Every structure is written in structure tokens, then in C-alpha cells.
Structure 1
Amino acid sequence: MRSILSSVGAVAVCLVAGSAFANSTGINGRSGKQSVSCTASGCHGGGSSAPTVTLEGPTALTAGQTGQYSLIISGGPGAKAGMNVAADGATLTAGSGTKLMSGELTHTLPKTFTDGSARFDFSLVAPATNGTYKVYAAGNSVNGDSAATGDSHANATLDVVVTGGSDPAPIKEDEGGCSAATSGAPAVLIAVFAALAARRRRKA
């Protein structure tokens, strides 16, 4: 029985270590767009200080225009860095050291800090519809020991206003759930008031 428990314990340790190691080649769904953080997902936590994560790039684009952006991670454990970027409605294109994963960007390998920071460059193609689109980013600052402990992360967002394209389709009244109740309301109210007035005249 003791040998079985020892084997189970060894497998569990390997799974945890394997999970942390697997994420070294990138992971998606942790940008903050889905309200799931790196810590909440069971990886990269316990660091004594959080990094600063900054998104740099144009905050206004014309429809179809390509903008150049950077995710900069500074502070924290500060040995190596990883990232995850997602966007509402816009097309992301990977830069050096990043790759696309299910429409989001993540690192191909952890990037070594240089002069206290790590930088990931990427581009974004503005959609054809006017509006304000949000870019979501998560940045990890890790100690480089291939374990999930002693690491820290932070999030950032950036709003990009797109103009020069088509306007969003207007919301139809029936999509608001009110038209069915209100479209015949004036006629119904008139009939009700007329009936009440007639009743009062009869009583008089």
C-alpha cells in the first residue's frame, strides 16, 4: 500500500512540474479577456512583488489599418517573461518571439529580461466596423526555475478607436424585447380609455 501511495505522489509531482514546464511554450485564455488570471489557473504565483505590464501602440486606427504594438513587462522576479494577448474584434499578428494560439498571442519561449524589462512586439489589424476595441494583455515575470512558485503576473488593457469604416448595425427594436409589448400599446390604451369614458357616461 505504501509503495502505491509513493507512486501516486510521484505522478502528481510530475504532473504539476510538467504543467509548469508546458506553459513555458505559451498558453492562451489568460489575457484577462476571459476573467481568468495566471494565478487562478493554477500556475505562476507566490512571487514577492508583481511586475508592471504596459501596452504601447496607437490608440486610434482607421478601418483595415495595421498598428504596431508592444507589451512591456518590468519588475517582479525579473529573470524571464511570458505573455498572453487577446483583442475584441481585431486581428492579431505575431511578432518575434510570439505565436498565434486560438486567435490570441502567446510567447514561443520565455524571454530573458534585459535591463530590467522584457518586450514582446506584435501587430493588430483594425476591423472594418467603427467602434472602440479593447486589447487585453497578461505578462508573467518569473524566476526561471521552471516551477510555478515564486513567479508573479499582472494585466493591462488598451482601448483602440477605429474610424473610417462602416458604422455598427443599429439594434432592432425587437432585439431589445420592447417592440412586441409597445408596438400596439397606443391603440390598446385608446380603446381602454374610450371604454372607461363610456362607462362613466352610462353611470352619469
Structure 2
Amino acid sequence: MRSILPSVGAVALCLVAGSASANSTGISGRSGKQSVSCTASGCHGGGGSTPTVTLEGPTALTAGQTGSYSLIITGGPGAKAGLNVATGGVDGATLTAGAGTKVVNGELTHSLPKAFASGAPVRFDFSLVAPATNGTLKVFAAGNSVNGDTKETGDAHANATLDVVITGGKDPVAPEEEGGGCSATSGAPLVMGAVLAMLAARRRRAV
């Protein structure tokens, strides 16, 4: 009987390789919005020097306006860089990919890692369409700096956020209170007024 162990080993190798390949071409859910870091992606275990990550772009937009933004990664292991960007705070914002990036699950990530050139920072450009609702939109970003050896160790990431004030749109709708929007305190004067009116009518009839 032939052993199935070589076949099982080959399948396992393909699964691991597929996972690593998927992460090298970008991943969502690691921007810091969900409190999950790049070291939890199954591809980067940390251990490298921490890079500096900054977000640049307008801090105020009108509803529906498009703003141009950049995520800049400086330092760290410094061979290649990747990113994940997401938005929160106000629903309805749209991220649009720039060169070397793509949109996955409504978030922005790299298509392939971008190489550092002679120690210069890596820059990922993208755009954002402001939502229709007024408020403070928060942009969450994670920048990864890796040593390029395809191993988990020796890589590092850092996070950045940017607040963008949205105006010129509709105001957010306040959540309705339980019980159809009428609280007990607001209904009490109405009930008391009805009782007093009934008592006054009885007194008039008695007279």
C-alpha cells in the first residue's frame, strides 16, 4: 500500500504558500480600526525596528468631495512596505485605490509590497470620497516595513490616524428613544392634566 504522507505534505505546503502569497498581495482588517495588528496576520511576527507611519491629506471636506491622501512609511527593516487603510466614525466614505493599491472589503491595501529606494520613504497615494453625513470621519492606517526574506520574523509595523471633518451634508439622525420616542417624564404632565380636567368636570356637575 502506497503511503499518503508525501501527498499530505504537498497539500500542506500549498496551503502555507497560498496563505503567504495572499498576505503579500494585501489583506484587510489590519488598519487598527479593529484593534488587530499586522503581526496577527499570520505573515509578520515582528522583531524588526519600528517604522514611522504618517497620513497626509485634507482634514476637512464637504459632503461628496474627493480628497487626495498619502500614507508614508519611513524606516524599519526597510526592504519593502505594505499598508492597510480603513475609515470609521461616519458611514458612507469611499476609498479609491491609487498606484500599487487595491480595495478589499471596502478597505485599502497593497497589490504587491513596494520596495524602498535607497532608504527613501515609501509613499502610497489614494483618494477618499467624503460621506453624505456631517461629522468627524476617522482614517485608520497601518504601514508595514519588512526585511523581504519571506519569513515571519524581522518585520515591523506602526499605525496612524487622521480626523477629517465633514460639513455641507445632512446631519446625523439621533437614535429614537424606546417606547416610540415618548419618555415617561414627557408623558407625565399630559396624564396629570387629563386627571385634573376630569376632576374639575365632576365638581361642576356636583354644583
Same fold (TM over 0.5): yes
| 1:150 alignment partner, one of 142, 151, 154 | 154
Q: How big is the shift at 1:171?
A: 3.2
**Contact 1:25/1:109 (CA < 8 Å) preserved in 2?**
yes
3-state SS of paired residue (1:77): coil
Alpha-carbon distance between aligned partners in 2 of 1:16 and 1:119, rounded to the nearest angstrom:
29
Q: Distance in 2 between matches of 1:161 and 1:179?
A: 32
Gaps of 5+ in 1: 191-204
Name which of 104, 111, 128 aligns with 2:107.
Answer: 104
1:198 corresponds to: none
Where do residues 32-181 of structure 1 align in structure 2 (5 Å cutoff)? 32-88=32-88, 89=91, 90-114=93-117, 115-174=119-178, 179-181=182-184
TM-score scaled by length of structure 1: 0.80
Query: How far, CA to CA, are the matches of 1:163 and 1:141 in structure 2?
Result: 35
Alpha-carbon contact 2:83-2:109 (below 8 Å) kept: yes
Report the residue type matching 1:111 in the other structure: K
After TM superposition, the runs of 4+ consecutive aligned structure 1 residues lying more than 6 A away are 3-10, 187-190
Task: Check conservation: 1:80, 1:141, Cα contact below 8 A.
Answer: yes
**Conserved in 2, the CA contact under 8 Å of 1:63 and 1:128?**
yes
Name the aligned partner's letter for residue 52 of structure 1. Answer: T
Give, in angstroms, the shift of residue 13 of structure 1. Answer: 5.9
1:172 CA displacement: 2.6
Name the amino acid aligned to 2:105.
S
CA distance in 2, matches of 1:10, 1:143: 27
More displaced 10-residue stretch of structure 1: 82-91 or 103-112: 82-91
- Aligned-pair CA distance for 1:121: 0.2
**In structure 2, distance between residues paired with 1:78 and 1:170:** 47
- For residues 64 and 187 of structure 1, the distance between their equivalents in structure 2, rounded to whole angstroms, comes to 44
Letter of the 2:32 partner, please give it: G
Identity over the aligned pairs, expressed in percent? Answer: 77
Could you state the TM-score of these two structures normalised by the residue count of structure 2?
0.79
